Amino acid sequence: MRRSTKQAVAAVFLASTMPALAQTPTAITLSGERLHPESVSISSDGHAYVGGMQGGVQRISLKTRKVDQFVKSGDFASGSIFGVLADTVNGVLWACSNPDTPMSAKIAGADPTSVLKGFDLKTGKGRYSLPLPGNKPMCNDMAVARDGTLYVTDTTNSHILRFRKGATTLEDWHHDTAYATGTGSGLDGIALGGDGHLYVNNWQSNIMARVEVKPDGSAGKTTLLTPSQPITAPDGLRAIGGLRFVQAESRGKVTIVTVEGDKAQVEIVKEGLSSPTSADLHDGTIWYVEAEFSYFFDPTKRDKTPPPFKLTPIAAPAAPHAHHH
């Protein structure tokens, strides 16, 4: 009797561990040898969206691993694509079109300036084309609030722009020298915390800040957060629950940032990467992209073909238990 119980327990244990072993995902190869992906956003239904320097947006099913061209390069007058956001509140795939940067590809018919494009999240059809205000702006990333309000970062000018339901244009919502460099640039990643406030980073000044969103929707106080270790060239920032964020640091790391008061606890999840630009979480797994930007800026690599671009998974570390003081 005892032996068969042991065998039954062993069989149950094996059955419970085998699917887990089989399910550990591996990297998914993206299409395009000059893709240089700048951003990834994963919708709750398990589709990842990746934009890149060649323009267009690829949609990847994390279940079937199928990669398809959701938005073609140049569609709806879009140029090279920086930030992307799968906005399930509004049913829109937002994409930052930037035709005129050192990394941008020349794409026929693209709008000549930085424009936020919105594509239908079901069909991929163009729905919104919102030029950024300001001097030579550069649309970089987006975050959406529960009520459908969209926030957008302009890297050149370090302004946070806003697009509200029913609006027809982007409005200049907030700017603060605290989250800009001395020359006023560098604002990059943006995410909404579980507290309803915005969290932003700056890839040039290596800071992270909280921007209070007041009940009436206006901006309140900006607070610079004190990181537990230096952050280096932070790029994409995604909220992953509560006050936890996954951040790509383009000097080679993917980190998880947990905000506690005015402190930012920084935990390295993976390092030694080649210009990681963005990461997002789905189902306990972090997926990130590497842009291989050295193929633009390193003269010895300029004429060479980069390695295949991939969407790469890492198991997400468990959330720490809240400390009660």
Instruction: Provide CB contacts within 8 A for 135, sequence distance 6+.
Output: 156, 157
In a domain, 1, yes or no: no
The predicted-structure confidence for 208-238, as pLDDT tens digits, reads as follows 999 999 999 999 999 999 999 999 999 999 9
In a domain, 225, yes or no: yes
Distances (CA, A) of 151 to 160, 171, 174, 203, 257: 7, 10, 10, 18, 20
Q: State the average pLDDT over residues 158-173.
A: 97
For the CA atoms of 101, 103, 108, 109, the dihedral, rounded to the nearest 10 degrees, stands at -40
Q: State the pTM of this model.
A: 0.92
In a domain, 153, yes or no: yes
| Of 37, 56, 173, 151, the residue nearest 110 (C-alpha) | 56
In a domain, 8, yes or no: no
In a domain, 94, yes or no: yes
- pLDDT band with cut points at 50, 70 and 90 for residue 7: low
In a domain, 171, yes or no: yes
Cα 37 to chain centroid distance, Å, stands at 11
In a domain, 2, yes or no: no
Q: What span, in angstroms and rounded, lies between the C-alpha atoms of 14 and 28?
A: 28
The predicted-structure confidence for 93-152, as pLDDT tens digits, reads as follows 999 999 999 999 999 999 999 999 999 999 999 999 999 999 999 999 999 999 999 999
Domain count, the chain: 1
Question: What is the CATH classification number for the domain harbouring 279?
Answer: 2.120.10.30
Where is 19: in which H helix or E strand? helix 2-23
The residue type at 70: F
Output 100 or 13, whichever has higher pLDDT: 100
Enclosing domain of residue 298: 28-315
In a domain, 6, yes or no: no
Q: Which residue matches tokens 């149950």?
A: 12
| Of 189, 193, 218, the residue nearest 204 (C-alpha) | 189
